[in-house]
Chains A and B, each alone.
Chain A
Amino acid sequence: MRFAMAIDTRKCVGCSDCVVACQTENAVPIGYCRDWIVEVNDGTYPQLVMEIRSERCNHCSNSPCVRCCPTGASHYDYGGIVLVTPHKCIGCGACIASCPYDARYPHPKGYVDKCTFCVHRVKEGLPPACVAVCPTKCLYFGDTDDPRSEISLVLKKRKYKRLIPEAGTNPNLYFLI
């Protein structure tokens, strides 16, 4: 089992609903976030292109954050989801420095926090909060090891890219283009 997410940049309007839904679902303190929106513009008026992406932890299969964690707080969990065990985290920040995606933040309670793919929901058979709320349905979540899953099918059908592949982390976020 290998959980992954695909983000359809053709549909995403960058509304930040994923950010707010994550915040309420996971009680992320106001002023912090586990997911965010990136807008990239190119060209000169009126020849313009824009890409909008909903981003979060890439739950890399080869995660530098897991490798560098001195206490084992950062670890691979259910379906390859990368998690932090708060009570094992000493807040050293090595994982924050190692993450090429800038996906982690120091929680005011003293541990490092980040996207969990809403593992508590996934274990209940529910999609992550961001996926469930997205008004444009631009987020696909599922098991890429299952060839019949919605995400496997959409990745078969559509062109996609992954971010910073050169970091060699084998990320599990796919951006449909």
Chain B
Amino acid sequence: MNRRNFIRISTLGAGGAMFGSIGFGSGREPSLIDRLTGNVHPEESKYIRTPTYCEICFWKCAGWVYKNDQGEIWKIIGNENDPHCNGRLCPRGTGGVGMYYDQDRLKTPLIRTGRKGKQEFKRASWDEALDFVAKKLDFIGKKYGPETVALITHGSGGKLLTTLMKAYGSDSIAGPSYAQCKGPREVAFGLTFGTGLESPEPTDIRDTRCLVLIGSHLGENMHNTQVQEMADAIDRGATIITVDPRYSTVASKSKFWLPIKPATDIALLLAWTNVIVSNGWYDKDYVEKYTTGFDKLKEYIRPFTPEWAYGITTLDPNMIRDTAKEMANASPAVIIHPGRHVTWYGDDTQRSRAIAILNALLGSWGRRGGFYLPELKEIPEYPHPPFPPVNKSWRDILGGQYPFAELPLANAIVDGSIPGNLKDFQYRGWIVNGSNLNMTMPDTRKTLEAIQQLELLVVIDTMPMEITGWADVILPECTYLERYDVLRNDHNREPVIALRMPATEPKYDTRPDWWIVKELASKMGLGRYFDWKSFEGFLDYKLKRMGSSLEEMKKIGVKKYERTSGDLYFSADNPPVFDTPSGKIELYSSQLEQAGFDPFPRFTPHEEPPEGFYRLNYGRTQSHTFSRTSNNPNLSAIMPENLVWVNPKVAANWQLKEGQEVWLKNQDGSTTSFPAKVRITERIRWDSVYIVHGFGHTNPLLTRAYGKGVSDAALITKILIDPVMGATGMRGNFVTFLTENPDKEVKA
């Protein structure tokens, strides 16, 4: 009995609630209730629908927004023709309506009146707010140079803001999606195969026979089509191998679950490589034709036997051999999944390299059931004058550090805003769009230290967030359901574009991103970079040059194009091209070697939790996208707070009870602002705890999310920087439990 947990989530209505006293006689409105009880039969076609693509996460699934018979936004349904979703949105996309209906939304432009961090603002007109920003940018540009202003962005507004920044004279344009998320794997796959993975990753799960997930909790992260294809793979009887110290959802669906000791993944990857090489299980023809450095690898990998790895990973050597055999049997229809959030221990590029090498040995790159060759539709530029030269580019500002960074690093912008961190340079202003840096960036205290040094912080968002509380000016963007945006064009099996158009007028005094950028540009004297009369005209200009039109896209939402780059996989007609110095897959990386890094991945032991502390492991849940959805009424109803997962043995040691509230304190004494409830579960190892990222909001303007759960960003104060490309490894932090509130001033 005590070994059985029974968790029923979303049972909010059953049992507890009292009957309402409202009758349903004469006064009731018939339409909605009758419709939902089947008394009236809606015809899907009679409802107005408008195309969109989702803004709740980076997968950007295309869908249709339906309105009900009162003309209100009713529901969002996936677009059947979209390869990002195949007509099926995930819970967040389905719950996207909540983003529109959230009554806590930012409603007017605001200019700060009190000191930074105090929620003291005055309402401003758009004219006033944009004037303020334009004047301040002009001042900073003249005094320090435009290159001292950075843009940190996440989401579709970023593209036009990027144009504005380049026109202004800065190229410090960063997304935390790079150095806090997928950067290391992009660099590692680039070094190995000559191309990164980008988004959506070209994993051919649809046709795979073996899917290997290393710390990637597909199914808890709802990377939509990957989850869909994984479910199909389960139906087809494909093997899933999951490596995770936590019994993740997908671990429960896997033929093999390897409950690895945290921070030892490279040892496992080397052992797998050892088994595959020493048994000759690699794809000999592929390795010979397409790779360089195999002989060196063979020599290098010799000591890393499963027995060697056992002492490090605690994984049974036979299990390591069996799983290697399983992969080899499936080769080339095997995917060692590169993961997405891979910034863990500071040697993440090397770990991703080990994954890339294993894929290369099994011949899965460019092969059916491995990695397909994606294609992107080129979207024509709307003509604009050339950008001015940048006085000091982000790379110059880095001064030779992190030589393999391909994109600006959000963490380097934070660091570079604190005086004394960089020689001769300091960032003076940030424009932040759709990115709640207080919770997105590790080490909230450092983020706040940087913010306090800024002469200008402009935040463009739909919701009050922690960062909006620190802004000098808040520009309230309308939600994606109320606006046009740039066309979506991510690469896929076939080139595809999608349109987002407003389903309804913007609520409150909010504006679309394109409007904000165009107005701001004209106030900055940069209107010539946005020389279109209407945004519809801007879109139509592009679409007409792509064999479509805005008129057509409004009807279909999604348009697919024929491939022009040849087959989806390597073939005689489609010989592989590797954009590496050798023109081959580089098992041995001479580029890394020349820059003074290990040419082959090396296992380095990482710090272990001190006595009484547990490794902080964090991850995703299906119903939320980081901190951006925590206040969404539909989604917070599904999951209102995060819980601290604790192994029963640990709970017994600490005498913790299920549901008990605890505060967490890390190795540096940093504590959470709020408590989280304990979830006692066998699904977590005894040496770690687990929380879902994105909770613990401290902005009281978020009426549903304020004080619910804990933020991992406050606990990640030890940042393990990847020397290769500068990403922030965040899994080297350890926490302990406090049963009393460590800060009496904070009311939970």
Contact = CB atoms under 8 A, between A and B. Distances in A.
A27 B22 CA distance: 17
Interface in B6-63: 6-15, 17-25, 28, 32-33, 35-38, 40-44
Contacts of A17: 88-91, 94, 622
B432 interface: no
25 contacts: A11-B231, A15-B222, A17-B88, A17-B89, A19-B638, A30-B634, A31-B12, A33-B11, A36-B8, A36-B10, A37-B10, A41-B681, A41-B682, A44-B682, A45-B686, A46-B259, A50-B252, A86-B33, A87-B24, A102-B15, A106-B18, A106-B20, A107-B20, A109-B33, A137-B232
Given A36-B8, A102-B15, A116-B38, A124 B91 contact: no
A44 B293 CA distance: 44
B231 A124 contact: no
A88 to B, nearest CB: 10
A149 to B, nearest CB: 18
Given A13-B249, A32-B12, A83-B38, A27 B220 contact: no
A124 B43 contact: yes
Nearest to B259: A46
Interface in A16-33: 16-17, 19-21, 23-27, 30-33
Contact of B91 (A16, A27, A86): A16
A32 B13 contact: yes
A126 interface: yes
A102 B11 contact: yes
A72 interface: no
A110 B5 CA distance: 34
B633 interface: yes
Q: Which 4 A-B pairs have the closest CB atoms?
A: A105-B13, A32-B13, A136-B231, A15-B622
A135 interface: yes
A137 B231 contact: yes
Contacts of A32: 12-13, 17
B228 interface: yes
Contacts of B681: 41
Nearest to B73: A24
Given A105-B14, A116-B37, 15 more contacts: A16-B10, A16-B623, A16-B638, A20-B638, A39-B8, A50-B683, A52-B249, A86-B24, A102-B11, A105-B13, A110-B21, A120-B38, A124-B42, A135-B224, A137-B88
Contacts of B252: 48-50, 52
B65 to A, nearest CB: 11
Contacts of B90: 15, 17, 135
Given A48-B683, A135-B231, A108 B10 contact: no
A160 interface: no
B142 interface: no
Contacts of A165: none
Nearest to A112: B19
Interface string B240-274: 00000001011011000101000000000000000
Contacts of B335: none
B75 interface: yes
B75 A106 contact: no
Contacts of A16: 9-10, 91, 622-623, 638-639
Contacts of B257: 46, 48
Contact of B36 (A20, A36, A120, A137): A120
B20 A39 contact: no
A36 B19 CA distance: 21
Contacts of A20: 91, 94-95, 623, 634-635, 638
B7 A39 contact: yes
A119 interface: yes
Interface string B597-622: 00000000000000000000000001
A74 to B, nearest CB: 12
B308 to A, nearest CB: 21
A30 B637 contact: yes
B37 A85 contact: yes
B94 A133 contact: yes
B451 to A, nearest CB: 34
Given A105-B13, A135-B90, A40 B33 contact: no
A76 interface: no
B37 A86 contact: yes
Nearest to B222: A15
A84 B34 CA distance: 11
Interface in A115-143: 116, 119-120, 123-124, 126, 132-138
Given A40-B6, A77-B38, A119-B38, A45 B247 contact: yes
Contacts of A35: 10
B738 to A, nearest CB: 25
Contacts of A135: 88-90, 222, 224, 227-228, 231
A80 interface: no
A50 to B, nearest CB: 4
B247 A48 contact: yes
Contact of A41 (B5, B44, B74): B5
A13 B232 CA distance: 13
Nearest to B253: A10
Contact of A126 (B19, B37, B44, B249): B44
Contacts of B682: 41, 43-45, 48
Interface in A92-111: 93, 102-111
A152 B25 CA distance: 42
B333 interface: no
A28 to B, nearest CB: 8
Contacts of B250: 13
Given A15-B90, A16-B623, A102 B44 contact: no
B17 A106 contact: yes
Given A19-B10, A120-B36, A135-B90, A10 B234 contact: yes
B235 A124 contact: no
B219 to A, nearest CB: 4
Interface string B281-320: 0000000000000000000000000000000000000000
A164 interface: no
B3 interface: yes
A44 B685 CA distance: 10
Contacts of A93: 19
B4 to A, nearest CB: 6
B476 interface: no
B78 interface: yes
A85 B17 CA distance: 20
A25 B32 CA distance: 10
Contact of B247 (A50, A110, A126): A50
A38 B685 CA distance: 22
Nearest to B101: A30
Contacts of A103: 14
A132 B639 CA distance: 22
B634 A23 contact: yes
Nearest to A32: B13
Nearest to A34: B13
Contacts of B14: 36, 102-105
Nearest to B252: A50
Contacts of B36: 25-27, 116, 120
B457 interface: no
B277 interface: no
A78 B259 CA distance: 49
A20 B77 CA distance: 12
Given A15-B222, A17-B91, A42 B4 contact: yes
A99 B20 CA distance: 20
A20 to B, nearest CB: 4
A77 B90 CA distance: 31
B21 A45 contact: no
A45 B646 CA distance: 12
B304 to A, nearest CB: 23
Given A44-B3, A120-B35, A137-B231, A30 B19 contact: no
B249 A14 contact: yes
B380 to A, nearest CB: 34
A14 B622 contact: yes
